[in-house]
Structure 1
Amino acid sequence: MQQSKKTYTVQEAMSKLEHYCAYQERCHQEVVQKLTQMHMIPEAIDVIVVHLLQHNFLNESRYAKQFASGKFKIKHWGKNRISFELKKKDISKINIQEALNDIDDEDYLELFNTIAEKKAESIKENNVYKKKKKFADYFLYRGWESYLVYDKANELIK
């Protein structure tokens, strides 16, 4: 039994991608990947991406800001992790910097201090050095700046 792959006209694919982009912010990479999965030829992909850009369905700057805001507020990621993940999605340095600048410094430190205190209390370890390592590993993986992490570890764990 052979599976037939669904084919789309440029117009059908364009309509589908408009809905795809309207549902949630998307980056160029996600849109191109979706079109490739739909078995569109490179020329059609270019036409559709240009159409989405012209009609403001696709906006890299808006995507970067929304991504950074969401990952910071919901997943409690630090700026390093947000920046790294945006780079993986081929977002330009200018847009990444703009998105990170949108995160308020006061909110950033306030959130870090709040989750740092909770995390320090939750680590069940008697050895101070092991406890500090677990604390640091947790925050470094989530992209918080090392100077913040180590200063806070030394302050909270004694």
Structure 2
Amino acid sequence: MRQQKNTYTVQEATKKLEHYCAYQERCHKEVRQKLQGMHMIPEAIDVIIVHLLEHNYLNEERFAKTFVSGKFRIKKWGRRRLTQELKLKDISKVNINRALAEITETDYNEVFNTLAEKKADSITETNIMKKRKKLIDFLLYRGWEPHLVYEKANELVH
């Protein structure tokens, strides 16, 4: 049995995407992919994206700031990981820098220190070198700067 492919008029797709963007901040790439998934033609996609931008449903700077704030607070990602993830979403360098500027140096260091200490305490490895490596790998994966990571690992694991 052949599955019926949903088709949308520009108005229907616009309404659907307004809800999609109102529910959660989105970047241009996500919106474009969603529209392509709805089998919209490129011209219609451009018309809808312009509409979303004009009516402030879509705002890349706002998306970047929300993304950074959420991933930093909840997942405790460092600047390198945040930058990398935003680049994957085709966010401009200007918006990435504006979003990262929202994190104060004090908050950044506080989150880093708390995360590192908590992780160091939770590693049960008895071999000092292996324990240090596990801590370093954990922090680097989360996107914290290498100089901070190595300094902290040497301070906590000895």
Q: Taking structure 1 as the reference length, what is the TM-score of the superposition?
A: 0.99
Q: Partner of 2:45 in structure 1? A: 45
Gaps of 5+ in 2: none
Offset, 1:5:
0.4
> Partner residue of 2:88?
88
Using the TM superposition, give the Cα deviation of residue 9 of structure 1 relative to its aligned residue in structure 2, in angstroms: 0.3
> Gaps spanning 5+ residues in structure 1: where?
none
What residue in structure 2 maps to residue 132 of structure 1?
132
Letter in 2 for 1:139: L
For residues 72-129 of structure 1, what are the alpha-carbon distances to aligned partners after superposition, in whole Å with 9 as ceiling and x for unaligned?
A: 0000000100000000000000000110110111011001111111111111112111
How many Å separate the matches in 2 of 1:66 and 1:47? 25
2:18 counterpart of 1:18: yes
Task: Report runs of 4+ in structure 1 exceeding 4 Å deviation.
Answer: none
Return the alpha-carbon distance in structure 2 between the equivalents of residues 74 and 27 of structure 1.
20
Q: Give the aligned CA root-mean-square deviation in angstroms.
A: 0.6
Per-residue deviation at 1:152?
Answer: 0.4
Q: Give me the identity figure in percent.
A: 68
Alpha-carbon distance in 1 for matches of 2:76, 2:70: 9
What corresponds to 2:120 in structure 1? 120
User: What residue is the counterpart of 2:58 in the other structure?
Assistant: 58
Q: C-alpha distance in 1, partners of 2:122/2:18?
A: 45
Q: Distance in 2 between matches of 1:48 and 1:86?
A: 23
Counterpart-to-counterpart distance in 2, 1:4 and 1:120: 54
Work out the number of aligned pairs and report it: 158
Q: TM-score, normalised by structure 2?
A: 0.99
